[in-house]
Structure 1
Amino acid sequence: MDRFSQLSDSVHNAFEVRNQARDKALMQTRKVIQHAAHAIRAIHRLDVDLADGFLNDARLLVDQLRRDLGEHPDLFYAGYTQDALKEYVEACVTCALIRGQEMPLPEEIEVEPAVYLNGLAEVVGELRRRCLDVMRQGYSPEVERLLSLMDEIYALLITIDYPDALTNGLRRQTDLARGIVERTRGDVTISLREQRLSQSMKELAVLLKTESLNDDEILPEIEEED
């Protein structure tokens, strides 16, 4: 019986430690996701300082997660933790690209390649959102820059031809990214055509007005000659 008591105490203590670590990790991952979402929302409003603040808060929490789960790798690689890291990647890359900066690499933000690529795939949707915001003000070179970035991300993703077990289901995210890129390209094409049509109509209106004024000037001269 002493052996069973020893076993009971041992396993209960082990599970209690892991359960506490899990509860703390769940709370931290929720906060990471919240900060990442706030950072993306801020950068879409071009509030750079606010976005940087949320990114820094998320970064501190991610660092804390790594330390707290150092002895619990199974919890660190659990779905909820990796999802939070994916959202963190999405926020970091989105904020950098919208600001015209170089995007951070996986080793620079200390995440696994699979997590990074899944986060990168979701950046495509945020770039589309930014692209549509810019197009509301009219077509501009910024639209082309954003669309080019979306193309580059997709071009990278389609080269990752490995089992889903290694890439965390990246193939599905890649398919979604392709659809987003195609829809955005269509929207950009329509926007450009509409802008060109609008400009042509304005030029035609000016031309017609000018010709009308010239006709008004000629008529009095003809009447005087008569």
Structure 2
Amino acid sequence: MTLKNVKPSLNKIIKSLAVTQDSREFLLKNTREIIILCSKSIIAVHKGELTIAKNNLKQADALLKKYKKKATGQLRRYLITPEQEFVEAACLIAIVEKKDIPSDTKLAVMPESYVLGLLDCVGELKRRVFDEMRIGNIDEAIRFFEIMEGLYLQLYTFSLYDKVVKEARRKIDVNRILVDDVRSAITEEKRRTELIKALEKLQK
């Protein structure tokens, strides 16, 4: 009979898909903790609580390593979002501490996760710029802006790979607006600072 091989083949496929589906649900459920830890890490950075930020990142890293063992083959794509958040937090900490931004190899993440994480980091740097400007630390604000702009310029070409690195083009478009906004704000702040200094000299 022509269908004799179909049923056993389909049964085998069903078992394989069931295992994959269970693994998918497991990863989606359990990697949420990684995302939460990375978010807490970023919040701690902005509060100036670097020790807490690093501890949260360390916990996230340990969980990532644990779940990578389960995420084999096509299941790896379900780690993109948690890895992306991990990259964002790790790079922000490095920048604040005036260290080199870690490589994708150092962070042990997928290329797509690395690119998306760096793109998200640009938005966090905007916040750092305005935080520094708010307390009158224009030099530090400029430092953060230069890194922010440098990241944007290096990541810009990834808009060509939007079909491979999903959401890359949208994030790059958003980052272009962020960079332009921050550049305008810094330029205005520098002019204001120079004007104040000039007025102070006249009063002496």
TM-score range, shorter chain: 0.7 to 0.9
Instruction: Indicate the residue corresponding to 1:114 in structure 2.
Output: 112
TM-score (norm 2): 0.88
Instruction: Indicate the residue corresponding to 1:27 in structure 2.
Output: 29
Deviation, 1:10, is 4.1
Note closer, same or farther for the CA distance 1:9–1:163 as it changes in structure 2 (3 Å cut).
Answer: closer
Give the count of matched residue pairs.
202
Inter-partner Cα distance in structure 2 for 1:37 and 1:6: 47
SS at match of 1:24: helix
SS at match of 2:102: coil
Instruction: Indicate the residue corresponding to 2:40 in structure 1.
Output: 38
Inter-partner Cα distance in structure 2 for 1:103 and 1:121: 13
Deviation, 1:158, is 2.0
Inter-partner Cα distance in structure 2 for 1:12 and 1:117: 35
Instruction: Indicate the residue corresponding to 2:77 in structure 1.
Output: 77
Conserved in 2, the CA contact under 8 Å of 1:121 and 1:174?
A: yes
Deviation, 1:20, is 2.5
Supply the AA of the counterpart residue of 1:61. L
Deviation, 1:167, is 2.6
Note closer, same or farther for the CA distance 1:172–1:161 as it changes in structure 2 (3 Å cut).
Answer: closer
Deviation, 1:77, is 1.3
Instruction: Indicate the residue corresponding to 1:47 in structure 2.
Output: 49
Correspondent of 1:66 among 60, 65, 68: 68
What do residues 97-132 of structure 1 show as CA deviations (whole Å, max 9, x unaligned)? 111111110111122222211111111110110110
Q: What are the within-5 Å matches in structure 2 for residues 86-125 of structure 1?
A: 86-125=84-123
Instruction: Indicate the residue corresponding to 1:151 in structure 2.
Output: 149
Supply the AA of the counterpart residue of 1:77. R
Inter-partner Cα distance in structure 1 for 2:201 and 2:39: 44
Identify which range, 108-117 or 46-55, moves more after superposition. Answer: 108-117
Conserved in 1, the CA contact under 8 Å of 2:80 and 2:112?
A: no
TM-score (norm 1): 0.80
Conserved in 1, the CA contact under 8 Å of 2:159 and 2:172?
A: no
Supply the AA of the counterpart residue of 1:83. T
Note closer, same or farther for the CA distance 1:16–1:150 as it changes in structure 2 (3 Å cut).
Answer: same
SS at match of 1:69: coil
SS at match of 1:162: helix
Instruction: Indicate the residue corresponding to 1:200 in structure 2.
Output: 198
What stretches of structure 1 of length at least 5 have no aligned partner? Answer: 208-226
Q: Give the greater-gyration-radius structure (CA).
A: 1
- Percentage of identical aligned residues: 26
CA RMSD of aligned residues (A): 2.3
Deviation, 1:68, is 1.1
Conserved in 2, the CA contact under 8 Å of 1:115 and 1:168?
A: no
Alignment of 1:56 with 2:54, yes or no, is no
What stretches of structure 2 of length at least 5 have no aligned partner? Answer: none
SS at match of 2:157: coil
